[in-house]
């Protein structure tokens, strides 16, 4: 009886799976970011990086996405958008008691944030560099710091549960030695102040 020919990537085969075998054909490079329209786009590469991949990441030619393959394939250097993106949350999971506690905490956080935003801004507060509203109602803020940018989204999925809007940092991390929690809070304050700025 003839032996069955081994297929690429099967157990016992020395032939590794190609990109096409794992994920299908590569998608063509997009011409612009679907969110802000910028052409400053990089491919996100997943897997354990070798020397060449590390060097490309260091030179800013690609983005290292980590060892676990995720949904986003592209990254915009202008607005920090990654896409295709997973859908945003529309509700809360968990038992009703936990949901009520979570909503109450977010209401208190929003009230404190709004009250602080009404005061004089600190000297180190960043500024909103860009802003737009997406088709699904999310509001995007690109906040500029001396060290770089943070991307925030204002989401309203808690409002139907009696909650308030939530400002979440989606992308952007300060360098080593800079307090992330402080940077996150300053970015939120900048977004709230921007929304409540007097009309021109």
* Residue numbers of the chain with a pLDDT score lower than 50: 6-13, 15-23
pTM of the full structure: 0.79
Confidence (pLDDT) at 38: 93
CA R_g for the chain = 22
Confidence (pLDDT) at 13: 46
Confidence (pLDDT) at 46: 92
List, in order, residues 6 or more apart from 190 with CB less than 8 Å away. Answer: 125, 126, 127, 128, 141, 143
Residue 130, helix vs strand vs coil: strand
- Contact call for residues 92 and 161 (beta carbons, < 8 A): yes
Confidence (pLDDT) at 21: 46
The β-bridge partners of 130 are 142
User: Helices 180-195 and 96-117: crossing angle, nearest 10°?
Assistant: 70
């Amino acid at each position: 009886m003839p032996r069955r020919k081994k297929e690429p990537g099967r157990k016992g085969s020395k032939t590794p799976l190609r990109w096409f075998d794992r994920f299908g054909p590569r998608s063509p490079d997009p011409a612009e970011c679907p969110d802000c329209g910028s052409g400053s786009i990089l491919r996100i590469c997943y897997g354990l990086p070798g020397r060449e991949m590390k060097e490309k990441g260091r030179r800013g030619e690609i983005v290292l996405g980590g060892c676990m393959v995720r949904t986003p394939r592209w990254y915009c250097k202008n607005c920090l958008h990654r896409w295709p993106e997973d859908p945003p949350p529309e509700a809360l999971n968990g038992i009703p008691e936990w949901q009520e506690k979570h909503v109450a905490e977010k209401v208190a956080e929003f009230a404190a944030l709004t009250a602080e935003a009404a005061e004089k801004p600190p000297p180190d507060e960043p500024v909103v560099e860009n802003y737009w509203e997406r088709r699904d109602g999310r509001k995007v803020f690109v906040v500029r710091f001396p060290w770089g940018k943070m991307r925030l989204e204002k989401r309203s999925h808690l409002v139907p549960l009696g909650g308030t809007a939530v400002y979440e940092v989606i992308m952007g991390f300060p360098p080593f030695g800079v307090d992330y929690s402080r940077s996150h809070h300053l970015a939120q304050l900048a977004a709230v102040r921007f929304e409540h700025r007097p009309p021109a």
